[in-house]
Structures are given as structure tokens and as C-alpha cells.
A and B are shown apart, each in its own frame.
Chain A
């Protein structure tokens, strides 16, 4: 129930990857036959990634994952377009791979606008339009949020950026495999993706860079990835990424429909059986498998511990689980009161989940919430006030 954190690598993907560790271990940069087979494998994977998002093969660059892709997009575009301007627009609810990179760029003399979001987590088109200045060089807004699942009006944002001659990047790490994406139709200039979010291997991803986009290299060294991203290619993982994205694209409709249905059942059951809960995010424009819900009077980390004890993996926006004692910046940005944010739970469904899982999770969740409420002084006060 934590598929937004990561997914299990598809056995078919693992099988496809294995030969590239052993018999087919050639370095794609070498010239002999063994090495050229590795090169062909990478090119094949590149084609698969391109097809999945409506891009051309030569516009796909393999990276070590979503975080590197995000860093590269922001820093690479920032540095290459420094003469044109120093202003970047992003949103308040981005992943830290974007937010912390923006903070780094601010230290380098860039100015960053963090667009607010409404109570459902959406960026407003009007706000974006108003934030654009003569010095704006890049807009980076995530396709779908990792915590609350809200999907942004990407096509409209891309259109505005195109009209103003501003580059548009989207962190689509959570969206790929869950939402149809076409970079041409959606006016996207750069897009980050990560294989392990759609049943591919960890530590591998890609950055789509539309042809003609001014961007500096981020990792310097050899001439790999057409001199744009140095370092010997992670051939097995790239092969895995290719298979995973091809499978994700092929089953997108059926899969998302099935997962959305399961999610709907689970959410209905929770909302019917557990009083004092509130869904965070947008009710319809959200990732198919995402539920983010706050339970009043209890704290999220203890809820996770009880669920974990029952064999259920989940996630929370509570400060107590963050390692920094700060509650989720996303829940804060959509205006969730801090004490309610502490009681938030994120369940993210994936392909392995079944109807039985939904029934089991709901049963355990009811028990866990009840148990924590029984020990909560806040709930005791509420009951006293009511009687």
C-alpha cells in the first residue's frame, strides 16, 4: 500500500535485465561486437521510453533516476540560459529534488517563485501567468504530487510557457505509468521519470529534453548520451527501464481503471466506517492509486507502526515520522491544520493489490484508528465535550 514510495521490480523486467550483467557485459562505448550489443540494447530502450511519452528517441537521456533528472533539468537549463534571465517558477508542493535544487539555485543568484496551490493542491493558471516576468527562463511544475496525488493542468501550463518562449519542465516521476502523457501535445520541453515507480529497477531514470532546448551538462566526463550525460551506462537497468515503461504504457488503460476502482472501494469503506476523517487533495483529479486521508485525534507515525505490525506498508505526512520534526510541506501548502496533518495517512495502490487486500486494509485500519483514539487525550476531550 506504498506504491508511490517504490514498486517491486516486475519479474519479466528482472529476467530481461539479467543477461546484461553476465554474458552481455560489454561497455557500450567499446567497438567490438559484444559492446555493440550493449549499445543496441540501450538504443532499443531509448526508443521504448520515447514511444511511451510521444517523444523522439534522440530526445531521451538516461540518468540515475528522478532526482538526477530534476537536478539536471533545473541547473542545466538555469546555467545555459543565464544570459537570458535568472527567474524560475515552480510550485510550493514540489518534491524535494526540485525544491532543494531551487534553493541551491537561489544561492547562486537565481530568483525563484514558489506558486501557491489551492486546497486541493492545484496550481492556478492565472497565478502562473501573473508570475511570469521578462527574466523568467524556466517553469517547473510536477505532473502529479507524490503525497496527495493531485494532477496539475500540465497542458495549459505548457501552452502558456510556449506562448512566452519559456522552457517548461515537469517532474513526472509519479505520473508515468498512471496517467497518459504526450510531451508534444502537452507542450512539455523537459520531463523527469524514474523506473522504480513503475515496476522497473531502482537507480535508473531518464530526462526527456525536447530537441533544440538550451541545457548544460550536469554530469561531466566521457561522451556517453551524446555528450550530454557522462558515465558508463547502467545497461541492465536501462534495459529494465525500457521493458517496464513499455509494459506500463501498454496496460495503462486497463491498469489505471482497475486500480482506480480498488481505490474507490477502499476510500468508500474508510469514509463510511471511520468517523472524523478527511480526504486530502483533489477528489477526482488525482493519481488512480492514491489516498491521502487525515484521521482526527491521532498521530500518523503510531498509525504506521500499528499497520506495519499487521503487515501493511503505508506512509504519513506527520512530523514525527519525517526525521526533521516538520510536518509535510504539501499538507501545509494546501492549508491542512498542523494537528490534522499529524494524523495523515497515505495509501498508494498498485498492480498487485486485490479486493481481499482492500477488505483487510480497511479492517486493520478501523482497528488501529480506534485503538489510538482510545489512548488519545484529544479524543477523550472530544467525547466529554459531546456528552
Chain B
């Protein structure tokens, strides 16, 4: 059901854990849906120098979190913001259609962490792009 890459990231998650003095923390999802993702970032001179995640969810949710942290580590906030759910899914060599929402959650998690950082810096939050998927239901019809 899952690609080798997904299984690799699930069995050996990268950057799993917590940054206690994180500059930004984003939490998305809820326990009723069965997945919660929490992303911690450390930002130095506009670059994400460290990132960690905690995830409650299925194999795809854990793998998406792990891959998302790999993709944004060392990137500028602007570049990290541009990483789409599709990029996360592609980097994982694909996700089953019904699990695509896990990659959406990862994208949202990154955005939430970046905006939390911006808020703490007294900056206005960046806005989500129009047509952006927010939940399971939006995606179901598309996939």
C-alpha cells in the first residue's frame, strides 16, 4: 500500500522530537480526524536552522511530517512557505489517494509554524493561497 520511501520515513522518522525553545510552533489536525501534526522551528536570519515534529496519526501522516521537516530544513522562510503538499507527496514517491490529506496536513503544519514565528516577531501572518485545500473533505472530491 505504501511506497518504500513512505515506509522508510515511517520506520526511521527524521527530525522527530521537540524543540523546547522553538521560535515557531505550528499544530494542525485534530484527534477526531485521527491525525495531529506539530512542527517546531528554529529561525536564524530568516532561515529555518532546526526543525522537529511530533505526530499522532497513520503511517502516511508520520512519513509526511518527517519528509516535510527534511524539505524545509536550511530553507529561507519564503522558500519553506512555497513547499506544497504535492511536493511532500512526490518526495515520498507518492501516497495512496485516500492518504493525500496527510501531505496537506504537512503543508499546513509548515505554514502554521512559520506564521507562529511571524506572529511572535510582531509581523502579520502570510496568507494561504486561494484554492488551497484545508481539510479532508476538500480533497476527497479531487483525488
Point out residues on A near B: beta carbons under 8 Å: 297-299, 301-302, 305, 309, 318-321, 323, 325, 327, 338-339, 342, 374-380
Q: A302-B10, A375-B62, A377-B27 are in contact. Are A320 and B34 (CB under 8 A)?
A: yes
* A338 to B27 CA separation, bound complex (whole angstroms): 20
When the two chains form their complex, are residues A377 and B36 in contact, meaning their CB atoms are under 8 A apart?
Answer: yes
Given contacts A301-B59, A325-B98, contact A375 B34 (CB under 8 A): no
Our count of residue pairs bridging A and B at CB distance below 8 angstroms stands at 69
Neighbouring A residues of B27 by C-beta, 8 Å: 377
Question: Complex: how many Å from CA A338 to CA B34?
Answer: 8
Query: In the complex, what distance in Å separates the CA atom of A319 from the CA atom of B33?
Result: 8
C-alpha spacing A376/B34, complex, angstroms: 12
Stretch from B49-57, B74-82, B87-95, B119-127 contacting the other chain: B49-57
Residues of A near B31 (CB, < 8 A) are: 338-339, 342, 378
A327 to B32 Cα, complex, angstroms? 9
Please, which residues of chain B bring their CB within 8 A of the CB of A380? Answer: 18, 38, 54
B105 to chain A, nearest CB (A): 12
A378-B36 CB under 8 A given contacts A305-B10, A323-B98, A339-B31: yes
Report chain B residues within 8 Å CB of A378: 31, 36, 56
Q: List 20 A-B contacts (CB under 8 A).
A: A297-B56, A299-B58, A299-B61, A305-B10, A309-B11, A319-B33, A320-B34, A320-B58, A320-B61, A321-B58, A325-B33, A325-B136, A338-B31, A339-B32, A339-B34, A375-B13, A377-B38, A377-B54, A378-B56, A380-B54
Q: Which residues of A contact B58 (CB under 8 A)?
A: 299, 301-302, 318, 320-321
Interface majority SS (helix, strand, loop, mixed), chain A:
helix
| Complexed CA–CA distance, A377 and B54 (Å) | 5
- Which residues of A are found within 8 Å of B37, using beta-carbon distances? 377
Within 8 A of A (CB), among B1-53: 7, 10-11, 13, 16, 18, 27, 31-38, 53
CB pair A302 B54 closer than 8 Å: no
Q: Please name all residues of chain B whose beta carbon is closer than 8 Å to the beta carbon of A376 when the two chains form the complex.
A: 54-56
- The verdict on A299 contacting B136 (CB below 8 Å), with A309-B11, A339-B32, A377-B27 known, is no
Within 8 Å CB of B35, what residues of A?
299, 320
How far apart are B78's CB and chain A's nearest CB, in angstroms? 27
The residue of chain A having its C-beta at the shortest distance from the C-beta of B65 within the complex is: A375
User: Chain B's nearest CB lies how many Å from the CB of A32?
Assistant: 49
> Are A375 and B16 within 8 A (Cβ)?
yes
Say how far A51's CB is from chain B's closest CB, in angstroms: 42
In the complex the two chains form, what is the Cα distance from A323 to B34 in whole Å?
13
Cα A299 to Cα B10 with chains together (Å) = 13
Set A299, A321, A327, A338: member contacting B56, Cβ < 8 A: A299
Cα distance A301–B10 in the bound complex, in angstroms: 12
**Complex Cα distance A179/B50, Å?**
58
Which of the listed residues B13, B58, B61 has the most CB atoms from chain A within 10 Å of its own CB?
B58
| Contact B59–A305 (Cβ < 8 Å) | yes
Closest A residue, CB atoms, query B38: A377
